[in-house]
Structure 1
Amino acid sequence: MFGTYAQNVHQLPSGDTSQYKSRKLHFDEANFVSAYYHQDGNNSAVTGGIGTEKLTDIANTFDLQLSKYNKQGKKNTFLFELGVDHYTSASSDKIDPNSISSASMSDIRIYPSVNWTHSNDETGNSYGFTGSYSQEYDYQSLGAGFNLTRLSKNKNTQFDFKLQAFLDTWKVILPVELRTDGYGSGSEGDSRGVGSEPRNSFNASFGLSQVINKSLQVELIVEPAYQHGLLATKYQRNYFTDGSLRAETLPDNRYKLPIGARLNYFLGDRFVIRTFYRYYMDNWGIRAHTAEIEVPIKLSSFISVSPFYRYNNQKGTRYFAAYGQHDPTVQYFTSDYDLSTLNSSFYGTGIRFAPPKGVFGWQHLNMLELRYGHYSRSTNLTSNIISLNLKIK
């Protein structure tokens, strides 16, 4: 990929040629990220808020960035990304505990995307479009997006705008106890049909960043979102005070409004203090505060470590109740502890290598980063994640 394009050397026009930009398609960089995630807990929503939450996921993404200049000297950047995840879930295997394996006990998710961005190197302004696709056993999704960046004349103020739409189709998989005669399981090889429902999501992001001085940068972020369609996970059981059982039922629309702020302070040549705060609210009654700090420390000219800590406090939705605590007269109900009142902590560190002669002496392997994080929350859910990031330039 590094030797695909070549050209003969021609005599350039006389005069200043420092601004000359080749219009050949140019390789910018490639990134490979691989992560292993494992969690455990005892509040599975599949079995009504009790039972194992064991899950493992191996996620891999690869992206390739190419660019070329047009006749007007404007830059066109093409970003191709492919993601492949494989997970196993003990709780999802309880959709039908009488079978050897449910449809969602393990699965592979594939999600390619492509982005084109047109930019002006002199002003820093740009705009672009994104297309994406995602599929796993019970849904498929088509996505489209638009991105816009505008900078002030002195380039100390930057405005970013993003707009995304995801059009999803979900298979309506039900717990085995709630299936009517002839209703399928959603498993491969099961010829019986299952219903399907749409779920559409529309997200916007407004970001305004400002360079205060050479040491301090701040950013304000507002990310409104709207969802419509099947927002409940129908194979998640809910148990009521009268002993009855129903599939999770939630409103078919949801408005979300996260408002966040970032503050980065450069403390000399060796330390950076990165802070983030976000307030979240939605029309389901969830309110949440998230605060995060990360302190990259430069140990040498090419090695740095980045310890981090994030705290989250959440007031749960009005529709949540624990196992067997739902009122039979309510219209909407869930026992998914992700939507409950909780607090959580996530902490860990990363180490980054970027030697001038390349990682392991390979000039093109520009950077290697390892990160580890441990997550725990008040519902007794714990998880660990380790990730590897390789950058090739």
Structure 2
Amino acid sequence: MKKILFTAAAVFALLHTQAQTIADSTGYKSRKLKFEEANLVSSYYQQDGNNAAVTGGIGSQKLTDIANVFDVKFYRYDKKFRKQTFTGEIGIDHYTSASSDRVDLKVNSSASHADTRFYPSVSWSVENENKGTTFTVGASSSTEFDYQSFGANVLFAKKTKNKNGEFSAKLQTYLDQVKLVTPIELRPAGGGRGDDYNYGTAARNTFAGSLSYAQIVNQKFHFALLADAVTQNGFLSLPFYRVYFKDGSVHQEKLPDARTKFPLGFRANYFLSDKFIIRTYYRYYTDNWGIQSNTANIEVPIKITPFISVAPFYRYYNQTASKYFAAYQTHTAANQYYTSNYDLSKFSSNFYGAGIRLVPPTGVFGLQHFSMLELRYGHYQKSIDMNANIISLNLKFK
């Protein structure tokens, strides 16, 4: 089943760094393909709550998810001395969900209670270090039982003359097919119960444009301005989400077939001293479904030794409710669109935790190419009786 759940991916993301330029005494840069780095991120996510959209906004939201993402980077210099970087990534998630198991209310456990998602991606980038330009193209896919997605992206970045500022523009598209897994009581008579039922599919398309500007003001202060515009069209509901009307009747979630989103963000890092960094982030979001939200994040990496640091973090989030949301047995036949998915309700949330990072000069555990180990833990809590925990391990090899 397609998962609609909180994710700490942005906080627990892969940590990429640039390799040093390789040049001999003549200034020649090698054109042979060379290994730059590899990253492995594994995480365990667990949540609980009482507002499952599969059962109309009530019921268990117990869910566990085990995710593993591995990427590898290679680079070379071409005849024009431009750095070309090739990146391949493979991700695999496996989850179990109490709410997804309730697509059929009459069985204790079904094939719907668990699923595995597989999502590979590739990218190629060309950096002209003299001109300060970077051009990147990429492609991705994601496959699970009820969802198939294909994505593509292109990015252009240009540094300022003094190399202290950088402007970037990115375009992304995702072309998806949603399997129309209907609650069993809403299927045609004689349609069958199992997950081998012929559900049919519907299209969902996403197009996004992003602009950003990053500036190094001085040795202590860096900031970035971020702006996005996202448009979606097609089947934007989730077909197995129930909505119970005031008269007790049950319906499939029904949402408009178009949505536009406009996030604006600001990121600032201040190097307080050799041992303390303050990282902050703020984002404002609005869309045409009536949701407005604010996100504020702070993280303070503290260097314990030259090779060990800890980083406590805190994120606060709030949002207004979508104009299409109402709780269990609240909607009526007068509503054109309706959902009881609490991800579209009014709520606030807190996410806090800490990470520890090891970067010994001789390599982690004395292994020279094992350059970094990071372990992070976070606790997430919504104001609508939902909480989650995530622990993540990031390993870097260079």
TM-score bucket of the superposed structures, by smaller chain: over 0.9
Please, which of 120, 131, 143 is the counterpart of residue 123 of structure 1?
131
Correspondences of 1:82-121 after superposition (within 5 Å):
82-121=90-129
Determine the structure 2 residue equivalent to 1:379: 384
Deviation at 1:300, TM superposition (A): 0.7
Query: SS in structure 2 opposite 1:177?
Result: helix
Is residue 294 of structure 2 the alignment partner of residue 289 of structure 1? Answer: yes
Query: Alignment length, in residue pairs?
Result: 376
Aligned CA distance change for structure 1 residues 281 and 185 (closer, same or farther; 3 Å):
farther
Opposite residue 244 of structure 2, the aligned amino acid is Y
**Aligned-partner residue type, residue 222 of structure 2:** Q
Aligned residue number for residue 363 of structure 2 = 358
Verify the 8 A CA contact 1:366 1:391 in the aligned structure 2: yes
CA contact (8 A) 1:239 1:326 kept: yes
Note if 1:270 corresponds to 2:275: yes
Paired residue for 1:207? 212
Hey, what does 1:40 align to over in structure 2? 48
Aligned residue for 1:248?
A: 253
Deviations along 1:69-128, one digit per CA (max 9) or x if unpaired, are 111111110000000000000010000022353343101100000000011122331101
Q: CA deviation at 1:357?
A: 0.1
Equivalent residue number for residue 6 of structure 1: none
TM-score (norm 1): 0.94
Structure-to-structure mapping, 1:341-356, within 5 angstroms = 341-356=346-361
Match for residue 148 of structure 1?
Answer: 156
Q: Which moved more, 1:199-208 or 1:344-353?
A: 199-208
Gapped regions of structure 1 (runs ≥ 5): 1-11
Matched position secondary structure for 1:306: strand
Select the residue among 306, 309, 324 that pairs with 1:304.
309
The CA RMSD measured in Å over matched residues stands at: 1.3
Instruction: Say which SS state the counterpart of residue 94 (structure 1) adopts.
Output: helix
Find the counterpart in structure 1 of residue 15 from structure 2.
none
Report the Cα distance in structure 2 between the residues aligned to 1:184 and 1:149, rounded to whole angstroms: 53
Tell me how far 1:185 sits from its aligned partner. Answer: 5.1
Is the Cα contact below 8 Å between 1:111 and 1:134 reproduced in 2? yes
Name the counterpart of 1:9: none
Alignment partner of 2:337 out of 332, 335, 340:
332
Residue identity matched to 2:25: T
Q: 2:172 aligns with which of 164, 176, 197?
A: 164
Match of 2:185, SS state, is helix
Judged with a 3 Å threshold, the aligned counterparts in structure 2 of structure 1 residues 321 and 20 are, in CA distance, closer, same or farther, namely same
CA deviation map 1:33-55 (0-9, x unaligned): 00000000000000000000000
SS at match of 1:299: strand
Q: TM-score, normalised by structure 2?
A: 0.92
Question: Which residue in 1 is equivalent to 2:191?
Answer: 183
Which of the pair has more CA radius of gyration?
1
Supply the distance in 2 between the matched residues of 1:67 and 1:316 (Cα, whole angstroms).
Answer: 46
Runs of 4+, deviation exceeding 4 Å = none
Following TM superposition, by how much is the alpha carbon of 1:184 offset from its aligned partner in structure 2, in angstroms? 5.2
- Partners of 2:39 and 2:237 lie apart in 1 by 35
- SS in structure 2 at match of 1:233: coil
- What is residue 78 of structure 1 aligned with on the other side? 86
For 2:26 and 2:275, the matched residues in 1 are separated by 33
Identity %, equivalent residues = 55
Match of 1:259 among 264, 267, 277: 264
Unpaired runs of 5+ residues, structure 2, are 1-22
